[in-house]
Structure 1
Amino acid sequence: MNEAVLERMWRHRASALAVRLNLAWWTERFNQLLLTVLPLLAVAILAGRTWREQWISPAGILLTVAGLLALGALAAWLLARKRFVTGEVGLVRLDERLGLHNRLVSASRKVGPWPADDPAFDLSTGLHWKAGRVVLPGLGSLLLVVAATLTPLPKREVLPREVVQPGAWEQMQDWLETLDAADFVDKEAIERFESRIDELKERPEEEWFSHTSLEATDSLEEALEEEIRDLATEMNALDRSLSTLESYSSESAEEAKKEAAREMEMAIDSLGQGGLPLSDDLRKELGDIDPSQLGSETIGGLSQEALEALQRQLGQAMEALGSLEGLPGLEEGMAFGEGLPGFGEGEGEENLPGFGGITRGRGDAPLFFGKEEDQLGTSNVEGIRNEDLSRATIGEVLGLGETERKIDKSRIGPVDGGTATSLGKGGEAVSRQPLLPDEQAVLKRFFK
């Protein structure tokens, strides 16, 4: 063989040896990365199948494994490249293995000829692959991923999330259910308030406690409270007027009877209006009452028994209003305002408020809190005066009067600048410290 053929042969053998060495270094790094990354992937798959099963799919797992293997191969090459050898190192290893005493290295440097090929050369170089160290780390890691993917897991019971609604919604719903069960308020009015509550509930749960939602809830709660208060006030006025008219005898004052009848008619009109009007049946029964016939056996289209049944129904309605929780002034079955000054009864033999006289008014005040203006039957406006000033409060106006300004009309002529035209005044108000006679004598010696 000529020198060129021998050179190609020995350099090819040296390159093959270098490739085997470099591949061994890369395999070691690659297996180390697989032993780190794939077990972590198996844990992630188990966690995903347990908590987010919809995110896990076989195709996604295969793509993830393929991507990790590619990235691992690249990372292993970057980590192992500092240990890679070249063909020159392969020639050194062949010289050492074959006992050529550096003849290959010398030939590569053009110092000597390339040695001839000898069948007695052992070209195995003493390097052998250990299948266990090469295959088992990667295979074991892949088996962990397969096991994490295919191992059956017990079904996880997802407990339903308990969504807490604003407390005002539940309270308003309880109020409306109580009014609906009492069956004396118009059903359509109750449904209108319920639909407004449902509109708030239909919003996304994340917005239930937002500023806008809570502001709308407060506004709706205040509106419902006001309607219930007005309803309780008018129901109380109607019940009181009805009881008063029924208790009047024929000898009673006609003017007081007319006043009670007027209050009753106003209460009935108010109960038919507003946001929570009475039901149609109850309004019809109240409309059949003729206040002028109260005390007789038949009142308009109602008998005495029907009137008593109507009064019992009104009493049950007032009890239902009094049972509503969270409304100040509506407690223990007491209608709004009942028990306050002006809602009491007279002290006579009959259960009546009294008729009043020259020096005092009647036993109750025909003034009720509501949207309608109270008709007092007079347009005379009188001022209230407190003659007992011992009970006056701080800042209270005790009286008003008219006064005139006093103008100094004395004439003052021109005055030269820098000259005093009159003695100074005002010193009388300056505090002077009295001195003893000895002290005054000392001052006179220095200030003559």
Structure 2
Amino acid sequence: MTSGPENSNRDHWQAKARKVARQVNLAWWLESLSAPLLVTALAGAAVLLVVRREITGTDPWILAACIAGAVCLIGLACWAWAAGKFEKPEQSMVRMEAAMQLRNALSAARAGVAPWPAPLQKTDAGLTWQWPRLLVPPLGALALLAAGLFIPVSALTTNPPSAPEQPQAWKQLDSELDHLAKEEVVDEKYLEDTRKRLDELKAQEEEQWFSHSSLEATDSLKKSHRAESGRVERELDRADKALANLEKNAGAANQAEKNRMMEEFDQALQGLQNGAMKPNPALLEQMKKLDLKGMANLSPEQIQQLRENLKKHSEAMKNGGQGEGEDWSDELLAGDGEGECEGEGKEGEGPGKGGIDRGPGHSPGVLGNEKEGVEIGALTGLEAKDLSRSTPGDLLELQDGEHEVDKSATSVTQGGNTEATGKGGDRVWRDALDPAEQRTLKRFFK
């Protein structure tokens, strides 16, 4: 039966031994955990970056919880693996008595052959923590995981393949039809029919948008719309001009001239009614109700209002025919001037409308200012200064002159030594050649 002080000494040394055992076992666990923790942290950081890039909108606390769960699993696995090296309190007690040089006093007391030593003020198991080796792996793993969790990453947006862009002509037609509908200058039926034909083209499969047949149909629709727009614009201008001439020359012109102007106005009205594109029904109704024969009974306000409507519709048709993306050549040749020429031989300030007897109608100098022509002077000879480099055949000088002809009479000797004047070739034949030369020539030239 042990006494009270004996039991107290035993409890003290056993508690010290358990503490040393815990320190040794913790060191074994940290040693086995360092390498797997770094590898797992590196892989975890990469996984975090990928997840944040691929899956947007993930809450950070979910990622942090996943990280903590992974670290716990790695710690448990390393604890199970290091458990085979753990030290028991009995082994720690031996370590203590060896470090403190107690000469097996603790082992003998535990075996019951000796009393337990009295507690010492300071105990030493011969162990010292290596803090750099202990803290570097956990801190490195923490830094890697924090980097994977907080480094800014641009989210990967997997946009679906965008549809191919529609042909430019479709956009132009849409813009022109929208403009005409906004200005309310064209009959709604024409706009509906044209949009229906355009929608049929758009309803094709995307692979057929730029096919040969689709492009031909688009070009035909575009040309038809442009032709109708130009026709309506011309007829409106024609009606406005006829109405202006009637108003201006109502009292001065004779009846035949007035009839011609009224007929021109009626033809413009008929042209506006017959085409596929018709102007606003209200404008047509206003033109039909106009009594041209009773111009004197019409107030200037009525005529002015009709002319303003005609100009408004004409301007809207002109702007509507351009639209977005209009060809630069059309804009270049269209010009901005009015091109109206008053009288014969007068040139307008801008391009005209063109015609069979009025020229093409475009502005002069559309491709830039014309360069002045180069005047060609008289041909002059070049005077050779250095004759030392001349070669045979080089032209040295040209002179204008007349041949010097010897007009003096030449006498030839005829029979009896009588001198006579030679004629024509006789002068050369008889006087310039000796008898032998004459015989030779006669033999070859008979």
Question: TM-score interval w.r.t. the shorter chain?
Answer: 0.3 to 0.5
Q: Please give the TM-score of this superposition, normalised by the length of structure 2.
A: 0.40
Q: Please give the TM-score of this superposition, normalised by the length of structure 1.
A: 0.40
Structure of larger gyration radius: 2
